[in-house]
Amino acid sequence: MNAAEIPGRLEAFLKGETGAKEVSVSGFRSMTGGATRRAFACDLDLEWMDGRQARHEAVLLVFRPAGQQALGAREEFNLLRAVHRHGVPVPTPLFVGDDALGRPFYLATRISGESIGRRIVRDEAYAAARTLLPTQLARALAAIHSVAVEDEALAALPGAAGKGDLVEAALNGLATLYRQTKVEEHPVFELALRWLENHRPSTSRRALVHGDFRIGNVMVDASGLQAVLDWELAHIGDPLEDLGWLCGRSWRFGRPELSCGGVGSREALAAAYQEATATPVDPEALRFWEIFGNLRWGVFTLVQLRAFIEGISRDVELAMIGRRTAETEWELLGLIEGKGIA
């Protein structure tokens, strides 16, 4: 659909959805684009026959054709509602539609702040926020992991139907993806897979996992964490997977000495998470999931490189990301040997 047509069709949809007498969509503008959806900012003004009025500063997410995302618009909207009810800082979900715009979409409140990682970890404007973020991030994860896996909003997530070993499922899935996408041999990745097989955590919990919880996927202002964004990789898994992913070196944005997303230490993150959940964090289990997360990102770089090499996309950013494979290999060697860990 032509973007110029969206405001008018959105107004008609909202009238039908809310029963409002008047609906105005203003300030419509494009935001970021991605592989799975397009994002637009807009302001919604609604007025009913009885004089009630409502105004929402909103974000509209329009999903690309089916098959290009793990979750559809309605599934992601329902997930957002579920985590919002559990106190997770997220944009408030507003409305969801299936075909009024020609493609599935949903609307949520627009959150002000900064999401660009290098600014969050470096700019003086966020210096005070950085001291708060490890605890705030841990508490947000605790809230995410507290959502009951039986909640019907989670039924569409990967892993929701399974009852097997979570660690085995994660390892098998990652190994399969690696074998399917590698364009050359990567001995370090083979070593990491073998290490993970031989160092499985003795226990694991079954929980909602964000799947991409990191600096760059959160909104931050001077007071700290405002919202957790980008839920398209959510699944059912071990909650320490989220902590290990957050500690990946690639998400430190030039602050490698600060292992918790370039804003703090993994020890501070683990302590705050343990306090929030009353669940001890085994350092060796966290190490396992940090190694898993670094390997997972390394495999993702190969996925994106292969898309470029095979001509599926000519976006040079994919090729640039493919060059980062070596960074993950270097980090994996240090983590496996127990050396140079910030």
- What pLDDT was estimated at residue 221? 97
User: 317 vs 107, which has greater pLDDT?
Assistant: 107
CA-nearest of 281, 255, 287, 257 to 269 is: 281
**Banded model confidence at residue 339, pLDDT cuts 50, 70, 90:** low
List of domains in the chain? 3-109 (3.30.200), 117-337 (3.90.1200.10)
- Determine if the pTM surpasses 0.85: yes
Residue with tokens 């969801």: 96
Q: How many CB atoms lie within 10 A of CB 116?
A: 13
Residue with tokens 């979570």: 166
What angle do helix axes 187-198 and 325-337 make, rounded to 10 degrees? 40
Query: In this predicted model, what pLDDT tens digit does every residue of 100-155 receive, in sequence order?
Result: 999 999 999 999 999 999 999 999 999 999 999 999 999 999 999 999 999 999 99
**Banded model confidence at residue 318, pLDDT cuts 50, 70, 90:** low
Query: In this predicted model, what pLDDT tens digit does every residue of 15-64 receive, in sequence order?
Result: 999 999 999 999 999 987 555 688 999 999 999 999 999 999 999 999 87
- What pLDDT was estimated at residue 34? 59
Query: In this predicted model, what pLDDT tens digit does every residue of 51-80 receive, in sequence order?
Result: 999 999 999 999 876 544 578 899 999 999
In sequence order, what are the beta bridge partners of 42? 58
In sequence order, what are the beta bridge partners of 43? 26, 57
Of the chain, the percentage scoring pLDDT greater than 70 comes to 92
